[in-house]
Structure 1
């Protein structure tokens, strides 16, 4: 039998090691920064994998371990279950891969943003990784709030990394909008404590119908803000002013996943949920999905297109959680799996965008043609990213999206409107696939354009990261299904 202390030690290490790395980066010379960041991220990943192994060894029984208390009130603790171990490993692992990618991206050979890496980048980035591990493993809403705010501060610093007027405005926009939304989490925490005398997320189940609805809606508002859903979406496209490794981490595995994660965790702890909350979730999700799809149709800048695509994919996750409130466990599992699967696919696609701008000095899709004959690995990676986000099997997002939509059909007999929402989501999925297929055909095939002909070589660290992420875009669906059962 695995004890609580044994179960907690690895999540604790996964959180503390990155913050220790941040301190070392700030204290030591600049040339050591990227190596300390990589080692700290790698060690945190090993701790997450060890926590997952211990969870499996204990019979995959979920555990909530109190760690720090004020008297009888638990302020911080750890939740070790299928969702936390799966997603923490993904978020920290992607952070490690993005760090390796950054070795090549942040240098003077970058044709879009010639740069020498700074200690500031790696110090903040490793803190971001630690904050994500902390948020995922936290068993209390107070712990979530602390790491919620740390991720906001880290994103502000990283979005404004280039320190020009545009990037500073974008960083401030992200900070203000997400912090307005975060008031929901503060309100939810306050009401939860006043009604139950506890900050533990499991206490949500003790609330009566009215207060439970209030707390869940309050958490949902905070989740919408972090995950760039209507009406809080506008900070995410502006965040493209950040270096592409930051954009990849923001969209794939960190900032935007904070929202969907805290809402999913609240639902898992809440017990029966008022159906009114379900309607708010599914209507908000489908409206945001359609809006973001229409917004990315005219985009020619690959990063802005991917930004709006991210908003749509996050809507699928919320849709799965909304269907779960109406009674579909399949949709709930699909929503969690989609967080995992989308993380690898979107990180890959964003890093491909970064490689295109690094080697060619532009982000305009209309400038790229005939990539396969000049840069075959980059062309294959582009195709993997496009097909995965488009939802084609055997890529991971296909399986999780299928689970969400199948779960929607499960509960659609409860209301004609639910059936309409499922059908609209299917139509959006088909149109999204067609749009990404169109750009894939344009970019990958044909005679190389002048921009592609003049491209500089792809750095080896980028190539290695692409190979790992391409493998994971195929394997992630099988891993998620096996792990979540």
Structure 2
């Protein structure tokens, strides 16, 4: 039963993309939203069946050559949780797009075309395949599909700047994929299979090559130093795409494949953990310094995303030293951050839709003119900076607890965690600074003349505000 549900959930978005691409333009957005909704129901059905089977982990082989497993599904508490997040957020982004991509948009007056909605569905399907894949070969296939879709969607407006940004994203993430190609080849040569479960059988230099390759590929997709340059420029995409690719899906590919490798291997060389910790800390501080001068709300959120992903890499790297708390905190961070940061991006999109700008100095008095956007801005800022009772707190706290606990064994953890804690407090202060300048007060000219926000966009924002509180409870209950 679970195998059939998983396969149906994987295929539905691809079938929907084909139908959407061929349908009359006026039906494209509704077809996309329908197929995304059905796929979301598929992830819920998959999770329900997994729960009915006492949450027993299971792997299904769908494609093999002789004794070599080429592709299959792994159904466990992590894959079922994350696949729900990426597909559900894909549905919300599709629904939001039906209101955003219209001629009423003050910044980009444009009716969304078949190409937009078809590629969005392909991306949703690729994320399902990557998250559920039981083999590194399957991960590699869908890793590359997400790269192609990101190129098409970042460059959707077809301006010279957006096309350059799309090509930059494609090239950098494709260079990163070399690490995954190397890891797949090395795993096959040493174990005779592409199954992720075979990672537990690696030893010596092969282990370093495979985990090093996976970490390098993860850095590229999740925009970590030295492969971070594509993400800020990718903000040329339509804002719903920025929310999906750069908060919920594409940037989560990297941290997810790293988490899956750690879980599958059981034991990972400690040198990989130290490299992950050091690079996560450097990227975190660098990203924070880079978003300080940003005035464009989307670019600020892009650099903020880079720092938030560094927290996840830090957590997963800490787990290599035996901290189960750090691993579960990292997985919960993937889930929780997807909702909080999507909310922030879609607030930026709503402001650009109604006010014609997303430049923060030109926005003031949002709460008085548009209460929903003011509340959403506040909730998103508090959530991603880790203020209770919002979901970011329940992701960050386990990371700090795990890091300081490991300091009894590794003294260097203490100064590193103190440095990360300082960044967390400073990040909170910076977002509160912009909150004070943008949300309260007398509306600026742009805000005073703001156009009404379509119902579809308002529904999505309300759902994400609720999920910025509820997602942490879902993650804790599901991960146990």
RMSD: 0.7
Residue 213 (structure 2) pairs with residue 201 (structure 1): no
Q: Please say if residues 327 and 411 of structure 1, whose CA atoms lie closer than 8 Å, have aligned partners that are also in contact.
A: no
1:3 alignment partner in structure 2: none
* Per-residue deviation, 1:213: 2.0
* Per-residue deviation, 1:252: 1.8
* Per-residue deviation, 1:274: 1.3
TM-score by length of 1: 0.98
Distance in 2 between residues matched to 1:297 and 1:417, nearest whole Å: 28
Distance in 1 between residues matched to 2:90 and 2:277, nearest whole Å: 30
Residue 392 (structure 2) pairs with residue 397 (structure 1): yes
Residue 146 (structure 2) pairs with residue 132 (structure 1): no
Could you report, residue by residue, the CA deviation over 1:282-323 in whole angstroms, capped at 9, with x for unpaired residues?
A: 001000000000000010000000000000000000000011
Residue 468 (structure 2) pairs with residue 476 (structure 1): no
1:57 alignment partner in structure 2: 52
* Per-residue deviation, 1:9: 1.2
Q: Please say if residues 371 and 444 of structure 1, whose CA atoms lie closer than 8 Å, have aligned partners that are also in contact.
A: yes
The match for 1:11 among 6, 10, 13 is: 6
Distance in 2 between residues matched to 1:60 and 1:407, nearest whole Å: 26
**1:272-287 equivalences in 2 (<5 Å):** 272-287=267-282
Residue 314 (structure 2) pairs with residue 319 (structure 1): yes
2:97 alignment partner in structure 1: 102
SS in 2 for 1:326: coil
Distance in 2 between residues matched to 1:149 and 1:87, nearest whole Å: 19
Residue 412 (structure 2) pairs with residue 417 (structure 1): yes
2:461 alignment partner in structure 1: 466
1:442 alignment partner in structure 2: 437
* Per-residue deviation, 1:64: 1.1
* Per-residue deviation, 1:209: 3.2
* Per-residue deviation, 1:81: 0.4
TM-score by length of 2: 0.99
The match for 2:230 among 225, 235, 238 is: 235
SS in 2 for 1:392: coil
Unaligned runs of 5+ in 1: 1-5
* Per-residue deviation, 1:414: 2.1
Distance in 1 between residues matched to 2:466 and 2:117, nearest whole Å: 26
SS in 2 for 1:416: coil
SS in 1 for 2:223: coil
**1:60-459 equivalences in 2 (<5 Å):** 60-459=55-454
Distance in 1 between residues matched to 2:274 and 2:204, nearest whole Å: 15
Distance in 1 between residues matched to 2:323 and 2:58, nearest whole Å: 24
* Per-residue deviation, 1:441: 1.6
* Per-residue deviation, 1:210: 2.5
Could you report, residue by residue, the CA deviation over 1:123-145 in whole angstroms, capped at 9, with x for unpaired residues?
A: 00000000001100000000001
SS in 1 for 2:401: helix
Q: Please say if residues 20 and 32 of structure 2, whose CA atoms lie closer than 8 Å, have aligned partners that are also in contact.
A: yes
* Per-residue deviation, 1:67: 0.9
Distance in 2 between residues matched to 1:268 and 1:220, nearest whole Å: 14
SS in 2 for 1:111: coil
User: Greater CA deviation, 451-460 or 164-173?
Assistant: 451-460
SS in 2 for 1:455: coil
SS in 2 for 1:413: coil
* Per-residue deviation, 1:72: 1.1
Runs of 4 or more above 3 Å deviation:
none
Distance in 1 between residues matched to 2:460 and 2:23, nearest whole Å: 27
User: Greater CA deviation, 211-220 or 157-166?
Assistant: 211-220
* Per-residue deviation, 1:152: 0.3
Distance in 2 between residues matched to 1:435 and 1:390, nearest whole Å: 10
Residue 15 (structure 2) pairs with residue 20 (structure 1): yes
Residue 42 (structure 2) pairs with residue 42 (structure 1): no
Q: Please say if residues 337 and 400 of structure 1, whose CA atoms lie closer than 8 Å, have aligned partners that are also in contact.
A: yes
Could you report, residue by residue, the CA deviation over 1:34-58 in whole angstroms, capped at 9, with x for unpaired residues?
A: 1111111011111111111111111
* Per-residue deviation, 1:30: 1.2
* Per-residue deviation, 1:442: 1.4
